Every structure is written in C-alpha cells, then in structure tokens.
Structure 1
Amino acid sequence: MRKILCTLLLGFIMIPAYAHQHIRPGLWEVTTRSDLLALVPHIPAEHMQQLSELARRYGLKLPKIENGAATSHICITETMANEEAPGYFFEQRSGCTVQNATRMGNRYRLELICNNQHFQGNGTAEGTFINPENFTGSTEFDSTVSGTPVHASAQTAARWIGERCTTTKSLL
C-alpha cells in the first residue's frame, strides 16, 4: 500500500513538470481534418486556382489536401517553441490575429479574430501538448465569406519530424 501511495504521489509531482514542457523547435508536420476540407474534391479546378492565387498573396502555399485532411510542414524556431500557446500556427497562416492565448499545464486555448477583405469571423482553438514532439487540438470558427455565414470546425494533430527545416520556411 505504501509503495502504491508513493508511486501515485510521485506521479502527481511529475505531471505538472512534464505538462509544461515546450515543444521542440524544428520541422513539424501538421494535419488538419474538417468537413469543409472533405468538400475540396468537389471544387472546380478554376476555383482551386483562385484559392491558390489568394493564398500566394498572403505569402502562403496551399497544403496537400486528401481525404478531408490538409497536411503541411511548418518550421518552428526556438523562439516560437518557447511561446506558451501556439498562436503561430494560426496567426501567420490565416491572416487572422490571435488574442487571449493562455496555457495551463499541457493545455492551451486562444481566440482567433479575422477581419480582412475576403472574410470576417472569430473562433477559438484549444489543444493538448501530448509531449514535446506531439500535440492535438480543435478549432471552432464562425465567419462570413462573401456575405455567406459559415461555421467550421477542425481537428488538428501535429508531430515533430526533425531538427532541420530544409523543406519549408519559418512562419516568422
């Protein structure tokens, strides 16, 4: 009984220390799944070209989209890795701003505010750092695109690939 109690106590002591570790800098693979992404195969080629052009104007490249999931590679710098909440996954890539980013233990939460000529909206993103090389999250977003209300939700999983960012540029 004493051994079990000591093990549990040690576990409770170690969890907060482990939970607040920062993610590793380097190359990350981020996979996002949503119902909206599942519609991509039904978008005519000329519209996809327009979306690619729009993304390029923001300095972005559309990720590979298959089976309702978008997969991209992102270079996380040391500075970015030391941030409490991963606002950099949203702010630089979507044209939105991040507000009220918080972190408690291994969980993060942030608010997204978008107000540009193409769409307006707001939402929340929250997730869990599983360990320094993996995290998962979800996003809920309400917006207006060309005057049409749109609600979107997405699930994200990210994994660290390696220290060197040879295949992509940093977000910063």
Structure 2
Amino acid sequence: MRKTAVSILICCAASVQGAWATGQMRPGLWEMSMKSDAFKAIPKMSPQQMEQMRKMGVNVPKMEDGAMVTKVCITKEMAARDQPPIERNEAGCQPRNFQRSGNTYSSDIVCDGAGMKGMGKVNGSFAGDTSFTSVYDFKGTAYGQPVTQHSENSGKWLAADCGSVKPVAEMKPAK
C-alpha cells in the first residue's frame, strides 16, 4: 500500500508541474500546497523521524490542515516557459495536451509506467503572477490496485530570493 500511495503522490506532483511552467509565474520562492485523498494511505511519521530525515538532507514536506506543504524555487527560465516541460517521472506519468487560455490552463496526465497506469486531468487558474489553484483527478491502477484519486493544489509566491531552496530541476535524482 505504501508503494501505491507514493506513486500516486508522484503522479500528483506531475499535476502541479503544469502550474509552475505556464509563463505566468513570478520567479523566486513559492509555497506549494496539495490536499489529496492519497494522504490517508501514507503512514504517519513522528516529528522526530521527520527531523532526522531533514538532517540527512531529505526535503520532507510539512503537513498543515490536511495538506502537504513544500517550498519550491522557480527560476527565471522556468517562469518564462510557455508550457510544462514534457518529462516522464518515476511513476511513468507525463503531461500531455497542455492548453492555456488567459489565466487558466489544463493538461492531461498520462501514466503508462510499470507500476502506474491511467489517465488524469488537471485544471487550474492563476490570480496574477503570485498565486494559482488547480484541481487534479486520476483514474487507473497503481501496482495492480485500482485507484481513483482527487487532489486540490495551490501555490503562492513568497519572495524573489529562493535562499537555500534549490530549483525544482536540481531536486530530481540523477539518472
């Protein structure tokens, strides 16, 4: 079950990916929040376990009001993109059919990896260049288990300087 929940969260992260690359985000430090029904399947970590992981360099998102909250650095280059980068993540999910009209955007998320198969749809909108909201729905399978998943995402710009938070592209594991 834990492997399934992690795959779903990876797929959810792909849905947020559409937001940070639509050419409407201000570069700098952003706080991203994701509420998902997938969180119910993830074992809870004690504050001590979370602190130990942070000391080991793991970017452990905090949980606030049922949402996973993390800080993300958006570079000038990322903010200037007109569409999300098309890249497959560990779950085999990638955005397709990205569309933007004014301050709204949508994208399909297609998963065809070994552990995850199915289709998702993300719809979102910006309020200027300092905040966004989106909704993501997915239906498919994760490691052979049927999955119907819903998440609500938001982001808000915090500062021009990212401080010690690395840009998203640098957070990915080396291949």
User: Where on the TM-score scale, by shorter chain, does this alignment land: which range?
Assistant: 0.5 to 0.7
Q: Which residue of 1 aligns with 2:139?
A: 142
Gaps of 5+ in 1: 1-19, 50-59
Q: Give the aligned residue type for 2:76.
A: E
Are the equivalent residues in 2 in contact too, given 1:37–1:65 (CA < 8 A)? no
Q: Which residue of 2 aligns with 1:31?
A: 33
RMSD over equivalenced CA pairs, Å: 2.9
Are the equivalent residues in 1 in contact too, given 2:115–2:143 (CA < 8 A)? yes
The 1:62/1:114 distance shift into structure 2, 3 A limit, reads: farther
Are the equivalent residues in 1 in contact too, given 2:119–2:138 (CA < 8 A)? yes
How far 1:66 moved relative to its partner? 4.2
Question: Among the aligned pairs, what percent are the same residue?
Answer: 30
How far 1:147 moved relative to its partner? 0.5
Q: Which residue of 1 aligns with 2:80?
A: 82
Aligned mates of 2:90, 2:28 — CA distance in 1: 17
The 1:145/1:127 distance shift into structure 2, 3 A limit, reads: same
Q: Give the aligned residue type for 1:105.
A: G
Q: Which residue of 2 aligns with 1:63?
A: 61
Are positions 1:153 and 2:163 aligned together? no
The 1:109/1:132 distance shift into structure 2, 3 A limit, reads: same
Q: Which residue of 1 aligns with 2:129?
A: 132
Q: Give the aligned residue type for 1:131.
A: G
Indicate the structure with greater helix content.
Answer: 1
User: Would you say how many aligned residue pairs link Structure 1 and Structure 2?
Assistant: 137
How far 1:73 moved relative to its partner? 1.1
How far 1:39 moved relative to its partner? 4.5
TM-score, normalisation: structure 2: 0.67
SS across alignment from 1:81: helix
Aligned mates of 2:138, 2:106 — CA distance in 1: 14
Gaps of 5+ in 2: 1-21, 50-57, 170-175
TM-score, normalisation: structure 1: 0.68
Are the equivalent residues in 1 in contact too, given 2:118–2:141 (CA < 8 A)? yes
Aligned mates of 2:142, 2:128 — CA distance in 1: 36
Are the equivalent residues in 2 in contact too, given 1:21–1:131 (CA < 8 A)? no
How far 1:121 moved relative to its partner? 2.1
Are the equivalent residues in 2 in contact too, given 1:119–1:144 (CA < 8 A)? yes
Are the equivalent residues in 2 in contact too, given 1:26–1:165 (CA < 8 A)? yes
Are positions 1:97 and 2:99 aligned together? no
**Rg larger in 1 or in 2?**
1
The 1:163/1:138 distance shift into structure 2, 3 A limit, reads: same
